[in-house]
Amino acid sequence: MDPTGFLLTVVLVLLLVFVVITVVRAVRIVPQASSLIVERLGRYSRTLEAGLHVLVPFIDRVRARVDLREQVVTFPPQPVITSDNLVVNIDTVIYFQPTDPRAAVYEIANYIQGIEQLTVTTLRNVIGSLDLEQTLTSRDQINGQLRGVLDEATGRWGIRVNRVELKAIDPPASVQDSMEQQMRAERNRRAAILTAEGSKQSQILTAEGEKQSAVLRAEGAAQAAILKAQGEARAIQQVFDAIHRGEPDPGLLAYMYLQTLPKLAEGQGNTTWVIPAELTEALRGIGAALGGRDGAPDAGWAAQVRPRRERPLGEPGTDVGDAFADTRLEDPTDALRAAREEVAGATREAERSTPETRAVAPQVARQAPEPPAAPTPPGPLAPPNSGY
């Protein structure tokens, strides 16, 4: 092979390789959401956006490639001291996005490292002014303060901080135990309070129910007593009027009196019974009614006997029921109200009495002489104490 031809072939191959390398270095395709920083002879020339670009070979050089998408960076836990001298470990998450590729390349050597250190120092300043309780309950406030400080500091770096989040706040183990005990004590206190309130409400409702039940029972008993008393009063009134309408003589009354005497001996505990003094008078009255001692009626007794007036069968007032046709029982509610008013009036009278009067009244009652016994009415027979 001719040496001249060989040299020419080598030159052509080298020239072809040089052309290929030059074309590759001159033509650049920039993907979307990316930027290329181009330097010409060592100085910043321009920023290439997404698309096809041609550079001057051996003069233009790509310095850096900047990703324009939002980026998320998680920093390791950082020990921070609170205002009450407790060390807590805080994990942070930073969301940022480059807005100026030129500033991100030329204003700071490593903007991610710069954001991390700035976050740590700012976090210590913010947490140092808060105690542990405020740190645990003021996450939004801490996030807002961190974002404001970082956004202001990273603005000249061509970085925009969109969001700052506290990923975790870990207090010391001893403090966590104390917090758990406090939480359990607080929950136990709330449970005890709720139980006490429920028991109190239950007792109140039970007492109110018993009170209403007692009031209703008392009112029912009062109405029953009033109705019973009214019935007994009407029965006594009917018997009393019937006896007077029949115009009984003293002999009948004495006979009824004698019939009542055996009832005094009724009962298992009655071993002895006392005969009233009026028994002799009753027997004397019966003897006088049957003819006296000599077999003739006693004049004195006969003077006391009233003649029975005969009434025609159809005469008004003959029937005992007609006398009570217009009788009306009193309403139990009105009677109960009247009884309550009488009790209230008696209570007010007792309250108006002075302590001296209440103290002297029993002594005066003891010193007062007993009233003389009623004289026995003249005549052969005293009216028996029959209650009519």
Q: Rounded CA gap, 135 and 202, in Å? A: 42
Tell me the mean pLDDT in the region 110-139: 87
Instruction: Choose between 269 and 238: higher pLDDT.
Output: 238
**pLDDT reported for residue 171:** 84
363 phi and psi, to 5 degrees?
A: -65, -40
102: left (phi over 0), alpha (psi -120 to 50) or beta: alpha
User: What is the average pLDDT value for the chain, to the nearest integer?
Assistant: 75
Query: Can you give the pTM of this predicted structure?
Result: 0.46
71-171, superfamily in CATH? Band 7 domain (3.30.479.30)
Tell me the mean pLDDT in the region 192-216: 92
Residue 25 has pLDDT above 90, yes or no: no
Residue 196 has pLDDT above 90, yes or no: yes
Instruction: Choose between 299 and 337: higher pLDDT.
Output: 337
Residue ranges per structural domain of the chain: 16-67, 71-171, 223-263+274-350
- The listed range with the strongest mean pLDDT (122-131, 261-270, 304-313, 328-337) is 122-131
| List of residues 6+ apart from 375 with CB closer than 8 A | none
Which range has the worst mean pLDDT, 110-114, 154-158, 161-165, 237-241? Answer: 237-241
**pLDDT reported for residue 193:** 94
Candidates 168, 165, 167; CA nearest to 176 is: 168
